[in-house]
């Protein structure tokens, strides 16, 4: 093996020049010098070793390992093994790295630098006691070893032993007054003890154009960024990178700043630069994942998070971020596992507890969600977003006083947060405090005029109080693309959306939205559209509505397949029709009633299945479980209606379809119930049955709209929480359907009191003789020329 002393003087000088460039942080210049030495003599172990070290500092790990192993093949030296350990550590091979460090120490137990390097390895692998022992062994061998004192100070500071840490830093600075990194670290310690003047003085002593100076500038940038001084922060980071271009941490921190300012392409570039310098930089992988997730580049983001976790399996932040990605992708079980891993790794991590709470809330597990939110708030009492989401949960559960207190706590911490004002308004509306609710919604819109959810919330309050003139334009917000949840998808059609212009001689397509009941309610405007001169009126709807909607006057075609639609001049959402007819509380009645009819052959088919004796009462006690308010609007079960059974002279018919059919098939002992819901194929069947009943009693479902559209008597049970806007907030009648009677659940009460009221009213109703009416025949339909397409879209 040759040493640099064996080189000609010119080549030895070249090696020393490369070494000097290396010490000044000019790594590319140093690498060039080492390669020139090796061109003269490829067996120069020192040059091979230092070239490997330069590759290591540039995060070129494969090249670093290869060069250092070449040096070791020439001579097994402790320093070479120690740096091989550093390379293997960064390559994610801790066992091999530890073996290299221990071999270095076995070769030269008196090598203080090897003990120091081993201490760094042990500290990075969360073995602080062993790391401290290694640093102290290095210092026992070399008491003037400033780097080991600095490293020991860092370890002691992170362990909370601040006095000992300060002593270590000050001893390092006695030995090396120009030691910028020790000045910087001492400044960090002093700042944590609120000794700000001393901290500033210490960090100001870092020598320019050194890695230590770059670290001081990086820390300065972090402080500026924390204090929202983004211009100063960016300047500090860029100055740090001028002093040390290979400083991966400064690239990463600059990326965080650029992302926060919406400069995503620049942020991505600096994150990738950080990773080119340090491929094992888990934090930069995670931050890149955050950026990619924001750009909806989800596969790339997931790969970045998983790489971060492969490098750092105990990285709680990466677990949390991956959980958010999985949740947004609908992979809820995986997301829950990852969130739980995050809080297992770091039990005092409020964001992970909060995000777990959001997932559990959206998964229908309110008790678990509440526990997660409360854990987040115990850790971080000023966590406004967690207060806000806990408020949403409590409001859903009907715990309105608790929800209000929680929202107001959130506003105490973030008074300018429009979302919280809006949610408070929703809760106040549920609590019938309408003036306060309206003020909260309008405050949200003052803070954020473009906030779609607040526009829609204000709209629903206005609709509930029949202030339709202001409400209908706001109701168009329901399909705004900015909404968090797309409740009303906007169709991709080649024809314009109708904006209220003249329809004379034009064809119009009515587009479906929301539920069956919504379509039934607003199809009443079809005859009025014809009166405005529409040449061809087409209804697109789901198959169960087709035969019913065919009976509406003015409708030319009813179709179900949106992929094979004929050309139209324009289209309109069905629930935008009241806007274009400028409907007010006084003009609701201008649309004709009844506006749907029954089919004679369906009436005959169902007549035989109806009970022969007594007055016939149709029942619906549950809605669709997919409805957002179904937990409040549906009854617990058929047994809830037991008080009705005591009213004599009645026969009951179940119109329950889907949820509740099994209960209908097994009615209470001694209480006959004709279970017809499961046999109904479509709403024309339901209409044929309802037309032959004396009364329908139902919760807020499409059956209520159908009965109202037929002009049949119907009693509707309305929940106190989130009562649908069309029923208003008080009174027992409906402006939309004169044949309906409304029974409102009392605040804070279960359904039993409301059902007792229904039973009492039913007793009074049954005691009166039926109204004398001429028998009503089902109207025969004229032959239809409508083109009906019953295909479903795949």
CATH number for the domain that contains residue 715: 3.40.50.2000
Does some domain include residue 587? no
Listed residues 195, 224, 258: the one ending a domain: 195
pLDDT of residue 191 exceeding 80? no
CATH of the domain at 254: 1.25.40.10
Mean per-residue pLDDT over the chain, rounded: 89
Q: What is the pLDDT of residues 404-416, one digit of tens each?
A: 999 999 999 999 9
Residues 563 and 660 reside in one and the same domain:
no
Q: Residue 714: beta bridge partners? A: 696, 740
Number of Cβ within 10 Å of residue 770's Cβ equals 9
Among 453, 403, 409, 411, residue whose Cα is nearest residue 428: 403
328 and 190 share one domain: no
Contacts 24+ apart (CB under 8 A), 181-184: 181/150, 181/206, 181/211, 181/212, 181/215, 182/146, 182/149, 182/150, 182/153, 182/212, 183/212, 183/216, 184/212, 184/215, 184/216, 184/219
Asked if residue 67 belongs to a domain, the reply is yes
Is residue 340 in some structural domain?
A: yes
Q: DSSP character for 479?
A: G
User: Is 325 inside a domain boundary?
Assistant: yes
At residue 789, does pLDDT exceed 50? Answer: no
The distance of Cα 215 from the centroid of its chain, to the nearest Å, equals: 36
Q: What pLDDT sits at residue 10?
A: 60
Is residue 82 pLDDT above 80, yes or no? yes
Give the per-residue pLDDT at 124.
81
Specify burial of residue 89 (Cβ count, 10 A radius: 0-12, 13-18, 19+): buried
Average pLDDT over residues 169-182: 83
Domain that holds residue 77: 52-195
The pLDDT > 90 percentage for the chain reads: 61
Average of per-residue pLDDT across 95-99: 88
| DSSP letter (8 states) at residue 44 | B
Domain count, the chain: 4
pLDDT tens digit sequence for 114-164: 899 889 888 888 889 999 999 999 999 999 999 899 999 989 888 888 888
| 85 in any annotated domain | yes
pLDDT recorded at residue 148: 92
pLDDT tens-digit map of 337-372: 999 999 999 999 999 999 999 999 999 899 999 999
How many Å apart are CA 371 and CA 265, to the nearest integer?
39
For residues 116 and 135, is the Cβ–Cβ distance under 8 A?
yes
CA distance 523 to 550: 11
Closest CA to 793 of 545, 562, 513: 562
Q: Give yes or no: residues 273 and 176 share one domain.
A: no
**Distance between CA atoms of 618 and 146, rounded to whole angstroms?**
89
pLDDT in tens, 285-310: 999 999 999 999 999 999 999 999 99
Ranking 8-17, 196-205, 274-283, 751-760 by mean pLDDT, the lowest is 196-205
Confidence check: pLDDT of 788 > 70:
no
354-to-290, 365, 368, 378, 411 alpha-carbon distances in Å: 18, 14, 11, 11, 18
Cβ contacts of 59 within 8 Å, gap of 6 or more: 90, 246, 248, 276, 277, 278, 279, 280, 281
Q: Please tell me the predicted confidence (pLDDT) of residue 463.
A: 97
- Quick check: 564 and 557 in contact, CB under 8 A? no
Query: Whole-model pTM?
Result: 0.69
Cβ atoms of 699 and 711 within 8 Å: the answer is no
Q: How confident is the model at residue 793 (pLDDT cuts 50, 70, 90)?
A: very low
- Check whether residue 260 and residue 405 sit in a common domain: yes
489 phi and psi angles, rounded to 5 deg: -65, 135
The answer to whether residue 209 scores a pLDDT higher than 70 is no
pLDDT of 333 over the 80 cut: yes
434 and 320, same structural domain? yes
- CA 28, CA 21: separation in Å to the nearest integer? 9
Strand, helix or coil for residue 571: strand
Look at residue 783 in the predicted model and tell me its pLDDT: 32
Segment 664-684 shows an average pLDDT of 89
Q: What is the pLDDT of residue 777?
A: 38
- Of 465-474, 480-489, 730-739, the poorest mean pLDDT is in 480-489
Distance CA 476, CA 275 (A): 47
CA distance 517 to 520: 5
Percent of the chain with pLDDT over 70: 93
Q: Are residues 76 and 115 in the same domain?
A: yes
Cα gap 332→369, rounded to integer Å? 14
Give the tokens for residue 89.
């550590």
Q: Is residue 486 part of a domain?
A: no
Tokens read off for 207: 């020598």
676 and 736 assigned to the same domain:
yes
463 and 531: one domain?
no
609 and 571, same domain (yes or no)? no
Identify the CA nearest to 400 among candidates 429, 368, 440, 364: 429
In 3D, which of 250, 260, 240 has the Cα closest to residue 283? 250
- Residue where the block lists tokens 């030269």: 108
Does any domain span residue 498? no
For residues 6 and 32, which has the higher predicted lDDT (pLDDT)? Answer: 32
Average pLDDT over residues 515-532: 96
Closest CA to 528 of 580, 585, 597: 580
Mean pLDDT of 554-580: 96
If one compares 779 and 728, the residue with the highest pLDDT of the two is 728
Do 87 and 128 reside in the same domain of the chain? Answer: yes
Torsion of CA 746, 751, 757, 761, to 10 degrees: 130
CA-nearest of 320, 332, 318 to 361 is 332
Q: Within this chain, do residues 522 and 632 fall inside the same structural domain, yes or no? A: no
Q: Does the pLDDT at position 7 exceed 80?
A: no
Cα separation, 446 vs 596, whole angstroms: 44
Indicate whether 444 and 325 sit together in one domain: yes
Contact 305, 325 (CB under 8 A): yes
Tell me if residue 681 falls in helix, strand or coil: coil
- The pLDDT value given to residue 791: 34
> What is d(CA 427, CA 422) in angstroms, rounded to the nearest whole number?
9
Asked if 746 and 754 count as a contact pair (C-beta separation under 8 A), the reply is: yes
Is 702 within a domain?
Answer: yes
């Amino acid at each position: 093996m040759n040493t640099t002393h064996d080189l000609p003087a010119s080549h030895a000088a070249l090696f020393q020049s490369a070494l000097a460039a290396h010490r000044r942080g000019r790594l590319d210049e140093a690498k060039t010098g080492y390669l020139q030495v090796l061109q003269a003599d490829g067996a120069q172990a020192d040059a091979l070793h230092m070239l490997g070290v330069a590759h290591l500092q540039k995060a070129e790990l494969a090249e670093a390992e290869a060069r250092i192993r070449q040096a070791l093949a020439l001579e097994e030296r402790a320093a070479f093994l120690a740096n091989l350990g550093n390379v293997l550590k960064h390559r994610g091979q801790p066992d091999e790295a530890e073996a290299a460090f221990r071999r270095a120490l076995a070769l030269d137990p008196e090598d203080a630098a090897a003990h120091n390097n081993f201490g760094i390895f042990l500290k990075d692998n969360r073995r602080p006691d062993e790391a401290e022992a290694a640093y102290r062994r290095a210092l026992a061998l070399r008491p003037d070893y400033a780097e080991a004192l600095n490293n020991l100070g860092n370890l002691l500071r992170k362990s909370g032993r601040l006095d000992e840490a300060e002593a270590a830093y000050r001893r390092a600075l006695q030995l090396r007054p120009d030691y910028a990194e020790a000045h910087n670290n001492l400044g960090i310690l002093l700042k944590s003890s609120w000794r700000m003047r001393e901290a500033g003085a210490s960090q100001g002593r870092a020598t320019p154009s050194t890695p230590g100076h770059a670290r001081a500038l990086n820390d300065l940038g972090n402080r500026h960024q924390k204090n929202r001084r983004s211009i100063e922060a960016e300047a500090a980071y860029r100055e740090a990178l001028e002093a040390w271009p290979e400083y991966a941490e400064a690239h990463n921190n600059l990326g965080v700043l650029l992302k926060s300012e919406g400069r995503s392409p620049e942020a991505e570039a600096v994150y990738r630069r950080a990773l080119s310098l340090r491929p094992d930089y888990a934090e930069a992988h995670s931050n890149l994942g955050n950026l990619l997730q924001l750009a909806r580049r989800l596969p790339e983001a997931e790969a970045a998070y998983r790489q971060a976790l492969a490098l750092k399996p105990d990285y709680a932040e990466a677990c949390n971020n991956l959980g958010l990605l999985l949740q947004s992708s609908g992979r809820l079980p995986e997301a829950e596992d990852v969130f739980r891993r995050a809080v297992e790794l770091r039990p005092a991590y409020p964001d992970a507890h909060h995000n777990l709470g959001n997932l559990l809330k959206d998964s229908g597990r309110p008790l678990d969600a509440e526990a997660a939110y409360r854990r987040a708030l115990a850790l971080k009492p000023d966590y406004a977003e967690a207060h806000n989401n806990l408020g949403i949960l409590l409001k859903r559960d009907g715990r309105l006083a608790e929800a209000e207190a929680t929202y107001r706590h959130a506003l105490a911490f973030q008074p300018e947060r429009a979302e919280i004002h809006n949610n408070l308004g929703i809760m106040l509306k549920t609590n019938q405090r309408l003036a306060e609710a309206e003020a909260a919604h309008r405050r949200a819109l003052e803070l954020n005029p473009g906030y779609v959810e607040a526009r829609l919330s204000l709209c629903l309050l206005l609709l509930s109080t029949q202030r339709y003139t202001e409400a209908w334009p706001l109701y168009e917000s329901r399909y705004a693309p900015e909404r968090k949840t797309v409740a009303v998808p906007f169709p991709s059609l080649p024809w314009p959306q109708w904006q209220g212009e003249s329809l004379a001689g034009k064809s119009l397509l009515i587009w479906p939205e929301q539920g069956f009941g919504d379509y039934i309610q607003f199809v009443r405007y079809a005859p009025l559209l014809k009166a405005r001169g529409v040449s061809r009126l087409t209804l697109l709807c789901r198959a169960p509505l087709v035969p019913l909607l065919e009976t509406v006057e003015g409708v030319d075609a009813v179709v179900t397949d949106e992929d094979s639609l004929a050309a139209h001049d324009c289209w309109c959402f069905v629930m935008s029709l009241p806007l274009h007819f400028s409907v007010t509380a006084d003009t609701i009645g201008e649309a004709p009633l009844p506006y749907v009819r029954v089919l004679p052959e369906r009436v005959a088919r169902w007549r035989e299945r109806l009970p022969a004796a007594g007055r016939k009462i149709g029942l619906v006690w549950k809605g669709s479980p997919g409805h957002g308010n179904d937990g409040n609007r549906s009854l617990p079960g058929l047994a809830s209606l037991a008080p009705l059974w005591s009213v004599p002279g009645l026969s009951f018919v179940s119109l329950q379809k889907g949820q509740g059919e099994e209960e209908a098939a097994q009615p209470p002992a001694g209480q006959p119930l004709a279970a017809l819901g499961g046999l109904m194929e479509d709403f024309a069947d339901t209409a044929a049955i309802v037309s032959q009943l004396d009364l329908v009693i139902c919760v807020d479902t499409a059956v209520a709209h159908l009965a109202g559209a037929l002009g049949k008597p119907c009693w509707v049970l309305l929940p106190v929480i989130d009562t649908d806007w069309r029923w208003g907030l008080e009174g027992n009648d409906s402006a939309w359907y004169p044949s309906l009677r409304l029974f409102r659940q009392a605040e804070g009460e279960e359904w039993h009191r409301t059902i007792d009221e229904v039973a009492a009213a039913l007793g009074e109703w049954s005691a009166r003789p039926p109204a004398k009416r001429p028998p009503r025949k089902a109207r025969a339909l004229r032959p239809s020329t409508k083109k009906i397409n019953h295909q479903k879209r795949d």
